Structure 1
Amino acid sequence: MAPNSSKTSKLALIPLPKGTVLLPGVLLRLPVANRSDLASLLSSLLNQSAGLKNDGTPITFGCVPLGSPLLSNDGQQLLEDGTVDAEKRGEYDSLDAGEARKEDLFRFGTLGKVTGVQRRAFAEPLLLIQGMERFTVDRIVQEEPFFEAEVTFHDDIESSEQDSEINELFQQLRQLSRELLTLLRLSSLLPNASSRLSPLVARRFELYISRTDPSQAGKLVNFMADISDSSFEEKLMILASPDLKSRLEKAVEVLGRQVQGIKSNIKITSFTTTTSFPPTSGLDISQMDPRELLARRAMSSLAGLTPPGASSGQNEDEKEPDEVDELQQKLQEAELSPEARKVADKELRRLRKMNPANAEYGVCRTYLENLAEIPWTKVTEDQLGAETLKQARKQLDDDHYGLERIKKRLLEYLAVLRLKQSINQGVEKQIAELSQTLDTMTEDNKEKETLPESDRLAAEAKLQLLKNRQMGDKSPILLLAGPPGTGKTSLARSIATSLGRKFHRISLGGVRDEAEIRGHRRTYVAAMPGLIVSGLKKVGVANPVFLLDEIDKIGGANFQGDPSAAMLEVLDPEQNHSFMDHYINVPIDLSKVLFIATANSLETIPAPLLDRMETITLSGYTTVEKRHIAKRHLIPKQIRANGLADGQVNLSDDVIDKTITSYTRESGVRNLEREISSICRYKAVQYADATDTGALASYDPIVAVDNLEDILGIERFDEEIAEKHGRPGVVTGLVAYSTGGQGSILFIEVADMPGNGRVQLTGKLGDVLKESVEVALTWVKAHSFELGLTHDPNEDIMKSRSLHVHCPSGAIPKDGPSAGLAHTLALISLFTGKAVPPQIAMTGEISLRGRVMPVGGIKEKLIGALRAGVKTVLLPDHNRKEVKDVPQEVKDGLEIIHVRHIWEAIRHVWPDAHFPGEQHANIFESRL
C-alpha cells in the first residue's frame, strides 16, 4: 500500500537515468544493468516480502530524477538565457544514475510500483514501473547501499466543476491534445515515415482524451507531458508544481507551442505555390495529393526540420539536414588545425552529397564528430601567480609524506612554466604593438605610396624574430619507477591537482594490440581512435595530465603489431607535437600533455622507450615514513570506511610500529592498510555490540599492543632477524630486492671438508654470484701467506680440502654483483677460525687486486639492514654519493663505514687481530 500522504514517511529511493522523469499514472521502463543500488534495494524488499510470507504486497519505492543544471533544486528557477557553466555542464553530462550522490538528486519524485519485467532477446532486461503519487524529499538519511529518505506524499486533489479557471485550462489542454492526435495521424500518411500511428492506438488515444473530465485533469496533464515533445526541464517543473492549476498551465504552454509550430508551417504551405522538391524526388506540388503535402509539412515540424518562417525551397525529403549543419557548426567552434580543417571540409562536402541510407554516411559522420570533439586549441589556463609554488608544495605535502625528489622535480617544472609565461607575455605584447604598426604602415603606403618597401620588410623581419622568441611549452615525460604500493598512481593525481589541470588515467597493463594506442584505420569495421586520442576527447583540453599506468607491462611485438613501439612517438618530446592516430589521420599536438608513466621494474621496458622518459625512482618506505602515512592518511580513511567516527578508534605509535614490523614486510603500504582495516573492523564489532546492549560507556576505543595477536593473529615476521651470535664461515650480506620488492639481508655460509679442492655452490645462485665466489677464492688463495693461512707462499690451501658455499632460502633466485666482499670475508673467517660479528653486514664486489667495487641499490639495502637489526654496514667508498639519498632515520640508526680495499674491511671486522701481510697492503695489491 502507498504510504499515507498526511505524514512524513521513510522511503527507499532510486535515481532515474539522466533525462528520465516518472509522473503519476505513467508507465516507465527502467534499465537494471549496472545498477548495484537497484539490485540491493530489490533484494532487501524481496527478503522483507519473504518474511511477511508473501502476502501479495506490491513492491514500491521512490523514483527520483536527477537534477538539471538549468533548474534550481526546487524546480522553480529556470535560467533565462539557458546557458550553463562549461564545467558544470561537463559534470552533468558525465553523471551516471548508478553513481549519483545525494546532491545530484531532484527534490521531488514519484512513488513507483513494480508491475513486471520486460525481457527481449539480445537486450538488457527492463523493470516496468507504474507511477503512483508524487512526493517531496525532506531529508536523505541513508546513501549506501541505496538511498533512503524521509518524504512527504501529495495526493492529487480532484477539481470541482465550480472551479472555472481549472475547467477552462482543462478544456484548452484537451483541445490541444486532439489537435496533436490529428497531426500524428497525418504524419502516418507518409510512405517512408519512420514511425506509424496504428488506427487502433489512435482510436484508444482519442477515446482516452474524450472520456476525461475536469476531475481527471491531473492524469491528463501527466499523460500528455509524457508523450509530448516536452523537454526534461519542463517535465521536472510539472513534477515539482505545487498545485493542479500550475501544472495545467505548464502543459498547455508545452502543447500549444508544439501545435502552433506545426500550424504555422501548414499556413506557409497554403500560401506558397512554388515549393520545390529535390530533383531526385520527381514530385511537383501541383501533382501532389493535398493530404500527403499536409502530412509532409506536419512531419517536418514534428521532427524540428522546418522551423516557422524557414524558406519553402529547402530540401524537404533529405534526412536530418540540420544534423550536417549542426556538425559544421561544431567543427567551426572546435578551431581545428589547418590540416584538420582541410580534411573536415572535404568530408563535409562528401556527407552532404551522400544518401543517409548509405552505410558510409554513418562512418563519415562519426569521423567528423570525433574531429569536433578533439581539443585542438582549448587548454586549461595555468594561473601561475606569486603563491603558486607555495600552494603546489603544500598540496603535495598534504597528499604524500616524503618523496622529496619527485616533489622537487615538479616544483622545478612549475618554476620553469612561470618564467616562460612571463617571457611570453612580454613578447606577445611587443608582437601586438608591432603588428598594429605594420598594419598602419601598409595602409599609409596604399594611400600615399611614399614609404619604401625596405621599411615594411624590416618590420616583418622583426615581427618574425619576436615570434621565434616565444618559448614553447614542452612538458616533461616522467617515469615513476618503484615497488607496488609506494604511491606512484596517487602521486600523479596529486600532480594534476597541484597544477590545476585535468587528469586522465590510461592503464597499459595487458595492452597487446598496437591499434589500442594508435587507433584503427577507418577501413575496418567499428574503427575507433586510440587510447591517447580518446583520453583527449574525454578531458576536453589539450594540456591535461596523462597517467600511463603500468608501462612496464605493455605487450611487445606480436601479430597485432608492437604497442611498445607505438608509444615511442607518444613519449618523444621531439615528435609528439605531430602525433598521427590511424583513425584521425591528421597530426595532433601532444607536446602540451604532461605524461607521467609508472612502472614496477625497468628491466621489461624496451631501451628506446626508456630513453625517452625521465626516470625518477621511488624506493620503499621506512618504518617512520609508514607510521606518518598511517596516521595521516590510512587510519582516518579506514575509520570512515568501516562506519566509525573520529575518536572511536585510537592507535598509538607503538601499535602502529608493531603492525608495520611484525605483520607486514613490504616496500609500500597496501598490506599495512589491510591490517589497519582489520583492526578497525574488530573495533566496529565491539562498538556495535556495545550500542546494541546499551553499554556504550564500556566501549574502549584504545587498541593496545597486547590486543594485536587477538586481532591479527600470531606475528608473521620477526623484528630482529640478524644472527645473535657469530661463527666462523658465516657472513651477513645485503641484497637490494627480496620477494617483497625491498632490501633485506642475505646470509652467506661457507664450510670446508677434506677433499681435493672442489667448490660446491648451492642456494640457487646465478652466474654473476658464482663468479663472485670464484674471484673471492682466488684472492684468498693468492694472499694466503699474508693472511697467515700458510707458512709457504707457494702452498695451496685448497690442496687437501673442499668447500661448500651456501645461501639459505634456496627457492629464491639470487644474482647480481654485490656479494664479493661478503664471500671473501666468509672464506677468511672460515680459514682463520675468526667469527665475523653478526651485527656487521656488508655489500660490494671485489676485483682480483682486492679493490672493493661499487654496487647499486644502496638505499634499499640500508633500509633492509636497519629493519633486520644490523648495527654496522660496510659499503664501497665509491657509493658515498648514494648514501645522501638515504633517509636520515636510517643513517642515524646505522654506522656506515666506507672501504676502498679488502684489507680495510678486514681491519674494521677484526680490529684486534693481526695478519702478517697487513703492513704490506699499501705497497702492493696483488701478487697476480
Structure 2
Amino acid sequence: MAALTQPALMPVIPLAKGSVLFPGSVLRIPVPSSRGDIPAMLSNVYARASKGSTRVDQIPVVCAPLASEPEKHPELPDADIIKKENIYGYGVMSKITGIQGQNSGEFSLLVQGIGRVSVDKITQDDPFFEGRVRPLVDAIPLQDPSYEDLFAKLKHLSLELVSYLRVSAFLLSASSSSGLNPLLSRRLGMLVSNKTPAEGGVLADFMMNILDASYEDKLQVLAATDAQDRIQKVIALLERQINDMKGNIKITAVSSTSVVPVANRENSDKNKRGARKGPVSALNINSLLGGMGGKGDQSEPDDLEELSKKIESAKLPPEAAKVAEREMKRLKQMNTAQAEYQVIRSYLETLSEIPWSVTTDDPIGPGTLEAARKQLDDDHYGIEKVKKRLLSYLTIVRLMQSANEAVDAQIKQAEKETLEEKIRASGIKVQMLRGKRRTEKAPILILVGPPGVGKTSIARSIATALGRKFHRISLGGVRDEAEIRGHRRTYVAAMPGVIVQGLRKVGVANPVFLLDEIDKLGMANHNGDPSAAMLEVLDPEQNNAFTDHYVGVPIDLSKVLFIATANSLDTIPGPLLDRMETLEFSGYTTLEKRHIALRHLVPKQIRVNGLTEDQLMFNDEVVSKIIESYTRESGVRNLEREIGSVCRAKAVEFVEANDKGQPETYRPQLTLEDLEAILGIEKFEDEIAEKTTQPGIVTGLVAYSSGGNGGILFIEVLDMPGDGSVELTGNLGKVLMESVKVARSWVRNHAYELSLTQDPSENIMKNRSLHVHCPSGAIPKDGPSSGMAQAIALISLLSGRAVPPTMAMTGEFQLSGHVKRVGGIKEKLIGAYRAGVKTVLLPAQNEKDAREVPSEVREGLTIIYVSHIWDAIRQVWPDVQWPAETAFAGVQPRL
C-alpha cells in the first residue's frame, strides 16, 4: 500500500458506537444486515482492484469512530442510522485483511490500522461514505531529553501493567478462563521491551488496546496528533489502571508453585470486576499477537446459559429439540478457541431464532371479509379474479377456525372427565377428537403478467389484508441451489437458505412470502438446480416437512402463504408450475389506467415532488393524453414516470414564480399545451390511422409485443416476376414461416374459386416470386396465430382488393382452410383496442376467451367469430360475389 502524503478522497467506514481502531491494531468489524454502506464500499474496492490489477489489501480505507450517538430507525429498532454528522474528525487509514462469513447471513470485516488521518470533510454518504482525508505523521523529538523521559516512563508502566494482568488472571481462576496465559504475557512483554524511542507513538497506540479506557478517553488519544501529548495521555491512563489493580489485589507470599492472595471480603466483588477487565483486553492482544489465547472470558458461561434459555423458549419440535440438546452438550465441553465452537454456537442460535410455533393471530371475524375487500379495493383497481381468490381463502380459514373451536370445546369437555372408570376411555376420546382438528394449508399462488401491472404490490396488500407479516425474496438471477436449501454445516461460512432466513427475519411461522421473479430462477448448472430445490418449498403436500441443509431438521412451511410473480410461464419448469395456482394479470385498459393515475399516481407524485393538490391539478383529459400519446405499455410504470416529470416541471415553475414575486403568473391547472412543452412531442400515435388502404397489407394481432403487452402486427406481401420462391424478412421464427407456406399453398390450390385465374389447372405462383415482410425487424416474431392473416394478405395482393385498415385478425390456419383456436385473446384484444382497431376476426373456438376481456374493450370493438377461411373472406370483402357453394365453405359467422 502506497503511503498517503497528500489530502485525498477515500472510502470511510464508520465504526460502531464504542469501537475505536488505532494504528497498528487489527479490528473485526461486524456487518449486520442493516449496514448497507459497507457492502457497497467493498463492491467499489473490489471493482477498483480488478480494474487496476491490484490486491484488495493495497487499496486503503479509513476507519473512523462516531462522535455522537446515531439515530435509531423507527421501523427497525436494532438498526442505527449513521449520518455524516456522527462521524468523528479523526480516523485511521487501514487495509482490508480479510472477510469472515457467519451463519446468520451477516459477515465481519477484518481491518488493520496503518496510520492516523484527519477526516476533513465527508463528501458522500450514499451508497457508502467517502471523505477527504489528510495524513498525520508523528514528529518524534528524539533529541529532546523530556521526550526520552516520557518514553521511558511509558515503557516502564506498560511492562508493569502486563505483570499485573498476568497476576490478576492467575489469582482469579488459575488462568482457566483468562486469555492472558504465561506464553502470551511473555510475548507481550518482549514486544514492549523491544520498542525504541522512535516508536513511542506506536507503543502508546498499542497500549490503548490493552487499557480499560472509556470511549471518550480513546477518542482523545486518537485525536492527539502530537506524539508527546499522546504519550502523556496514555501514561495517565496507565497510572490510573495500575493504581486500581494495586488496590484490588494484594500479594502476601510468592513461591515457586503458588501465589496466595489476601483480600478483604468487601473487596471480593471488586476483584472479580477488576480481573474481568483483563481477559477482555487479552482478547484484543490475542488478535494482535497471532491468536494465542485461552478459553474465553468470564461471561462465556452466562452466554451459554442465555442461549439455553432461548432454545427452551423457542419450543422446538421433538426432533429439533433432540438435536439442540446434543449440540449444547458438545458446546459446553468444548474449548472456545476451537474452530468448531463458533460453528456449533451459530447453529444453535439459528435453531433458537426459527419461529417453530410462533404465529400471527389472523383477525378473522364477522367483518373480516368486508375489511379485506375494502383494503384490496383501496390499494388496487381491477384484478377482480385475484381479489376473489384471496377472499375465498379468507373464507376457508374462517370456516376451519370455527370448526376447530368446536373440536377444542369437545376436547376440554372430555378432559374434565375424571371418574376412574372413564379415564382410559376419555383419553382415547381426546386423541380421536384431536385427530379431527383441521390443518390449514395455505395456497401457493403465482401471479403472471407483464411488468408494471401491480403483481408485487398486490402481495403486500394481501399481507395487510390478512394481518400477517410480509417478506420479499427476489429469485431473479439465483443460480445456486444452496441459496434455496442452505449450505451444509461442514462448509466454510455455511448459512441457511433464503426461506429459513426469511422466517428468522419475520419471526412468525405464518407470514406472507413473496417469491419475486420466479420465472428468472436459474436452471440446472454446476451449482445444482435451484428450480428443483423450489419443488419441496412450493409443494403443499410436502412443505410441512421442508429440510434445509444447514438446519438439518424438518421445518413446517405449510402455514406460509407463498405468492410468486412471473412475467411469463414459458421459462418455468413444468413440475414447478404444476405445484402453483396460476392467476393471470393482463394489461390495463385506458379507462383503468386513468382511474389508477387519478386515484394513486397523481397524488403520490404531487406529494413526492413537494407540491400540494391545490398547487397542481390534473384532469381526465390531461391524464388520457399522457396515457395515449406518451406511454404504450401494459402496466403503469412509465405512466408514473411521465406524471413525475410533469410534477417536477411544474414545481420549478411554481418556485420561480414565487422567487420573482409574481405568484399570480403560476397556473396550477394543467392543459394539453403544457404537456407538449414539458414532455416534448408525442411519442406514440394511432398506428391504424396512419395506414392507407393498399392491397397486400393486413393487420394481425400478437399477444405480447416488446412492451410486454398485446399489440398489432402488420403483414405486408409483395409479388414480382420470378420462379415461385418466397422471401421472408422481419426476424420471423420457424412457426411463422410455416404459416406463410401454408397460406401460399391454400391460395394456389383455390386460385380458381377465388377468381384469381381463369383455368383451374393454372399455377398462379409459377412465374412470380413473393416477399413477405413484418415491420420492426429488430423484434423477434413467432407463433401459430398469423395463418389467417397471411392468407388474407396474399388474396388481397393477388386480387387487388385492399383490406380495411381498421380490421385486424388472428387465428391458426390449416391446409383444410379451418381456423383453429389461439391463445392470448385477452391481451390481443386490449392491444388492438389501444392501437385503434375497430373490427376483429377471431376463431369461433375463442368465443369463451373473449368473455374475460374488460367491458370497455368489448364495447369498443366489433368482434366477429369465424371457423373457416371462407367465412373470413366474406367478412373482409362483403360486397364481392364469391362462389355460392364450395366444398370448403364453413358455417355462417357469428357476431
Q: TM-score range by the shorter chain?
A: 0.7 to 0.9
1:116 is matched with which residue: 86, 90, 94? 90
1:609 and 1:704 mapped to 2: Cα distance? 50
The answer for the alignment partner of 1:594 in structure 2 is 561
| Secondary structure, aligned partner of 1:836 | coil
Aligned 1:90-169 pairs, distance under 5 A? 91-93=76-78, 95-98=79-82, 115-122=89-96, 123=111
Note the C-alpha offset of 1:915.
Answer: 0.8
Q: Which amino acid aligns with 1:118?
A: V
Q: Which amino acid aligns with 2:667?
A: D
Structure 2 distance, partners of 1:769, 1:589, is 48
CA distance in 1, matches of 2:166, 2:274: 9
* Structure 2 match to 1:349: 329
Q: Distance in 1 between matches of 2:505 and 2:470?
A: 10
Query: Is the deviation greater in 477-486 or in 778-787?
Result: 778-787
Unpaired segments ≥5 residues, structure 1? 1-15, 23-28, 40-60, 69-87, 101-110, 131-142, 146-181, 200-222, 229-258, 267-282, 306-314, 445-450
**How many Å apart are 1:460 and its aligned residue?**
4.5
Q: Residues 425 and 583 of structure 1: is their aligned pair in 2 closer, same or farther, counting only changes over 3 Å?
A: same
Cα contact 2:688–2:805 (8 A) shared by 1 = no
Find 2:372's aligned residue among 392, 408, 416: 392
Offset of residue 541 of structure 1: 0.3
Counterparts of residues 817-896 of structure 1 (less than 5 Å): 817-896=784-863
Q: Which amino acid aligns with 1:92?
A: P
The letter for the 1-side match of 2:77 is Y
What is the CA distance between 1:812 and its match in structure 2? 1.7
Query: Which of 413, 419, 422 matches 2:393?
Result: 413
Matched, 1:428 2:447: no
User: 5 Å matches for 1:215-614?
Assistant: 288-290=259-261, 298=270, 300-301=272-273, 320-437=300-417, 440-441=418-419, 444=420, 451=421, 459-614=426-581
Give yes or no for contact 1:17–1:96 (8 Å, CA) kept in 2.
Answer: no
Contact 1:114 1:129 survives alignment (8 Å): no
TM-aligned CA deviation for residue 127 of structure 1: 11
The correspondence of residues 439-838 of structure 1 with structure 2, limited to 5 A, is 440-441=418-419, 444=420, 451=421, 459-838=426-805
Distance 1:502 1:20, change over 3 A: farther
Change (3 A) 1:916 1:387: same
Letter in 1 for 2:261: P
What are structure 2's unaligned runs of at least 5 residues? 1-13, 21-26, 42-65, 97-110, 120-124, 128-160, 190-212, 219-243, 278-294
Which residue of structure 2 lines up, in the alignment, with residue 175 of structure 1?
none
Task: Report what 1:138 is aligned to.
Answer: none
Structure 1: distance between partners of 2:297 and 2:709: 71
Contact 1:190 1:296 in 2 (8 A): no
**Deviation for aligned residue 1:646:** 2.3
Rounded to whole Å, the distance in 1 between the matches of 2:742 and 2:759 is: 22
Q: In 2, distance between residues paired with 1:755 and 1:843?
A: 30
Please give the alpha-carbon distance, in whole angstroms, between the structure 2 residues aligned to 1:31 and 1:343: 28
CA distance in 1, matches of 2:270, 2:301: 16
Question: Residue 631 of structure 1 aligns to a residue in which SS?
Answer: helix
Aligned-CA RMSD value: 4.4
SS in structure 2 of the partner of residue 702 of structure 1: coil
Superposition pairs for residues 898-917 of structure 1, below 5 Å?
898-917=865-884
What code does the residue aligned with 2:541 have?
Answer: E
> How much has 1:482 moved relative to structure 2?
1.3
Could you tell me whether the CA contact under 8 Å between 1:577 and 1:588 is conserved in 2?
yes
Q: How far apart in 2 are the matches of 1:886 and 1:850?
A: 27
Aligned partners of 2:18 and 2:338: how far apart in 1? 32
Partner Cα distance (1:476, 1:127) in 2:
59
Deviates more, 1:492-501 or 1:695-704: 695-704
Greater mean alpha carbon deviation, residues 782-791 or residues 729-738: 782-791
CA shift, 1:35, in A, is 6.9
| In 1: Cα distance, 2:36 partner to 2:496 partner | 25
Is the 1:384–1:418 contact (alpha carbons within 8 Å) kept by the matching residues of 2? yes
C-alpha deviations, 1:804-839, integer Å up to 9, x for none?
Answer: 222222222111010111111112222222211111
Counterpart AA for 1:584: V
Residue 764 of structure 1: how far off its partner (Å): 2.0
Partners in 1 of 2:86 and 2:846 — Cα distance?
Answer: 72
Q: CA deviation at 1:779?
A: 2.2
- The one-letter code matched in structure 1 to 2:708 is G
Task: Name the SS for the 1:360 alignment partner.
Answer: helix
**Structure 1 vs Structure 2: percent identity of aligned residues?**
57
Whichever residue aligns with residue 686 of structure 1, its letter is E
* C-alpha separation in 1, matches of 2:659 and 2:720: 71
**One-letter amino acid of the counterpart of residue 94, structure 2:** R
Residue 66 to residue 774, structure 1, CA distance change in 2 (3 Å): closer
Instruction: Report the CA distance between 1:655 and its aligned residue.
Output: 1.6
User: Would you say the 8 A contact 1:511–1:554 is kept in 2?
Assistant: yes
Work out the CA distance in 1 between the residues paired with 2:497 and 2:785. 44
C-alpha change, 1:113 and 1:434, in structure 2 (3 Å) is closer
- Does the 8 Å CA contact 2:483/2:498 hold for their aligned counterparts? yes
**Counterpart amino acid of residue 370 in structure 2:** K
Matches of 1:804 and 1:65, distance apart in 2: 71
CA–CA separation in structure 2 for the residues paired with 1:703 and 1:835 = 43
Using a 3 Å threshold, how does the CA distance of structure 1 residues 339 and 400 change in structure 2: closer, same or farther? same
Counterparts of 1:318 and 1:727, CA distance in 2: 92
Alpha-carbon spacing, 1:673–1:127, altered in 2? closer, same or farther (3 Å): farther
Whether the 8 Å contact between 2:18 and 2:215 is mirrored in structure 1 is no
How far is the alpha carbon of 1:296 from its aligned partner?
8.4
State the alpha-carbon separation in 1 of the partners of residues 262 and 296 from structure 2. 16
SS of aligned partner of 1:651? coil
Letter of the aligned partner of 2:648 in structure 1?
A: R
How far 1:583 sits from its partner (Å)? 0.8
Residues 607 and 731 of structure 1: CA distance in aligned 2, closer, same or farther (over 3 Å): same
Secondary structure of the corresponding residue to residue 875 of structure 1: strand
Deviations 1:76-130 (A, max 9, x none): xxxxxxxxxxxx9x8422x322499xxxxxxxxxx98954233333349999999
Secondary structure of 1:867's counterpart equals helix
Q: Structure 1's 434 and 592: CA in aligned 2 closer, same or farther, altered over 3 A?
A: same
Query: What's the CA shift for 1:921?
Result: 4.9
Alpha carbons 2:471, 2:513 under 8 Å: kept: yes
| C-alpha spacing 1:341/1:300, structure 2 compared with 1 (3 Å) | farther
- Give, in angstroms, the shift of residue 186 of structure 1: 7.9
**Aligned counterparts of 1:425 and 1:112: Cα–Cα separation in 2:** 55
Tell me, yes or no, if the aligned pair for 2:867 and 2:891 is still in contact at 8 Å.
Answer: no
